[in-house]
Structure 1
Amino acid sequence: MKQLNHLPSLNALKAFEAASRHLNFKLAAEELRVTQSAIAQHIRRLEEELGLKLFERQAKGVNLTANGRKYAASITQAFNLIHEATQSFYYSNQQITISVTPTFAAKWLIPRLSQFTQSHPDIDLQILATERISHFQNDGVDLAIRYGKPPFGAGLNTELLIQDTFIAVASPELMNTDQPYLDIQSLDQFTLLHDAHNLWTHFIEKLKSQHTQNLFKNIRFNQTSLAIDAAIAAQGITLTHPIFVNSELASGTLVKVFPQELVMETGFYLVYPRHPVGVKALSEVRHWLFMQFDQI
């Protein structure tokens, strides 16, 4: 390794750190919002400056060399220290930023915020509602509620909040029947409201129906909350997790259409860095979230 009298470029170090986590220049470029060629150029110049090889280029990505792994561990630790030092200014007010999907924010979290502020007046909760997977360091996120299956990334704690279960719901105005549940054979009389999960085919298979998806009228939404709102407006039947419609089911605004439920291997997970900043406030928010799910 060359003897350096100065630090390498910060942009080059950022590119290397991101690439070392993803082991993929394209994903590193997407995270840093630069081009893939820019990442490759930064890495090449860093290798030239250090006088050693950091990555082994392969057909399906890259792997770190022994020197690369050693350097990545130190650089990641250095960036974590910078992040913690910067974030420490914000934690004097006990601010916690939580990343959730727009549907989770609108249908589950927001109705419970008054409970949180009453029990934790010393914590400022900042909600980042986005369909994009937030990056903890770059976006200043402390906690994330992510949908799917782990793992969600290296260096992250992952805890299951609730397993995925889907039920079919509709407005009682649309159903217009004295029967508690709909006959599966009459399902093709209704419009199926889809969200991004697009699980109607799986649900119909569970009902052991001979129908195919082509027999149904369909309306598709990119967010679950929109499909739920359409169901409330008697536009059709949607599949959703019960946690998003508990109040509507309790008030009778929505009714369960079939007794069957579709259980999936996915779920909602609480995700956060293994070495978080503001541990006390984060622990209190984490405890409150689990308390809420324990009551479901």
Structure 2
Amino acid sequence: MPQLPPLNGLRAFDVAGRFLNFRAAADELGVTQGAVAQQVRQLEAHLGVPLFERLSKGLAFTPAGRSYHVFVAAAFEAIRNATEQLKPEPGKALVSVTPTFAAKWLIPNLPDFSAKHPDIDLRILATEKVSSFHGDGIDLAVRQGRPPFGASLDAHLLFRQEIIAVAAPSLIHGYSLPLDAKALSSIPKLHDSHNLWPEFLNLNNIEDDGDHGLRLNQTSLAVDAALFGQGAALVSRFLVEAEIATKRLIQITPKVLPGNQDFYLLSTRKTKQNPAIDAVIAWFLEQAER
């Protein structure tokens, strides 16, 4: 295999390339300006290619140096990220959730968490992608599904899936509650990526006589549209309990679509070595029970 360039030279080149200045690079690295310049010269000698043009007021990349720096900087960033994932950080917890769970349940409840655990840095990764405990460095994940999720994962039940139909008072003004089959068939409906309205209506032997309705890619957006009176939405009950309690949304029919994919908080066995993770798990379970 080809010999690797001198690592000290690569490090000096990486930092000098960010500042385009040997003195600023020396300040960050905690060495002398002359040492940085020498390490870069040794790297250039090893490569047989000049990487910088030395100017009176600093440095400028050569074309080869600019291209090489992109790869060198990316390599050091990858090493930093791998090291961060390897080292447990006391007092910090990264939890992966969907954007809808974050917007409609987690964020509204965060003031309670901050009040009870001011010493814990809770970080939220809101994504529709299934995050990897190893690859993405997450400590906890809220997932919808059924156990088992994996031999190395512990699953804590948060919420049973219970889909209900909700709408703003303005949308159903003049209707009698609960809506009868005719009214439920005719009102405008909001559709998200789960597309549950056909199943919900078929379960109750109702044909959809409404317009096609607005289609959105996230349940949180369907809930927001429902709040503005743009249609009725189907959503897990726990996500809209606050809106129902304040009568910003109303459950328009007692009919419920049961689900077979409940909401679980997942953790790995190794996260139990971190007291902060245990505290976050306990808080999630306490809030879910409430």
TM class by shorter chain equals 0.5 to 0.7
Pick aligned residue for 2:138 from 119, 141, 145? 141
Q: 8 Å contact 2:165–2:232 — kept in the other structure?
A: yes
Does 2:248 correspond to 1:246? Answer: no
Runs of 4+ in 1 over 6 A off after TM superposition: 82-85
Paired residue type of 1:120:
H
**2:190 alignment partner, SS class:** strand
Aligned-pair CA distance for 1:135: 0.5
Could you say which structure has the higher strand fraction?
1
CA distance in 2, matches of 1:206, 1:147: 22
Give the deviation of 1:287 after TM superposition: 0.6
User: What CA distance in whole angstroms lies between the structure 2 residues aligned with 1:283 and 1:236?
Assistant: 41
1:151-200, CA deviations, whole angstroms, 9 ceiling, x for partnerless residues?
Answer: 33341112221110000000110101252211111223222111122111
Contact 1:188 1:217 in 2 (8 A): no
Aligned-partner SS, 1:234: coil
Instruction: Give, in angstroms, the shift of residue 276 of structure 1.
Output: 1.9
Q: Which residue of 2 aligns with 1:20?
A: none
Change beyond 3 A, Cα 1:85–1:127: closer
C-alpha displacement of 1:131: 0.4
Structure 1 unaligned segments of length 5 or more: list them. Answer: 1-81
**1:215 offset after TM fit, Å?**
5.9
Q: Kindly, what percent of the aligned residue pairs are identical?
A: 42
Counterpart residue number, 1:290: 285
Q: Is the 8 A contact 1:146 1:271 kept in 2?
A: yes
Q: TM-score, structure 2 length as denominator?
A: 0.68
**CA shift in 2, pair 1:150/1:221, >3 Å:** farther
Q: Distance in 1 between matches of 2:269 and 2:83?
A: 14
What corresponds to 2:189 in structure 1? 192
- Whole-angstrom CA distance in 2 between matches of 1:203 and 1:85: 43
| 1:149 partner amino acid | R
**What letter is aligned with 2:181?**
I
Find the aligned partners of 2:159 and 2:203 in 1 and give their Cα distance: 21
- The Cα of 1:216 is off from its aligned counterpart by 4.6
Distance 2:259 2:85 in 1: 41
Counterpart CA distance in 2 for 1:200 and 1:153 is 32
Q: How many Å apart are 1:140 and its aligned residue?
A: 1.3
Work out whether residues 219 and 235 of structure 2, in 8 Å CA contact, stay in contact via their aligned partners in 1. yes
TM-score normalized by the length of structure 1: 0.66
- Cα 1:85–1:197 shift into 2, 3 Å: closer
Q: Is the 8 A contact 1:190 1:217 kept in 2?
A: no
1:207 aligned residue (204, 207, 222):
204
What is the root-mean-square deviation of aligned Cα atoms in Å?
2.0
Q: Does 1:261 align with 2:256?
A: yes
Question: Which residue of the partner structure matches residue 111 of structure 2?
Answer: 114
Structure 2: which 5+ runs fail to align? 1-81
Which position in structure 1 is the counterpart of 2:154?
A: 157
Give the count of matched residue pairs: 209
CA shift in 2, pair 1:158/1:277, >3 Å: closer
SS at match of 1:153: coil
Rate the CA distance shift 1:140–1:182 in 2: closer, same or farther, 3 A: same
How far apart, in 2, do the equivalents of 1:140 and 1:146 lie? 16
Q: 1:85 to 1:252 in 2, by over 3 A?
A: closer
Amino acid at match of 2:267: Y
- What is the letter of the counterpart of residue 275 of structure 1? K
Q: Of the two, which has the highest radius of gyration?
A: 2
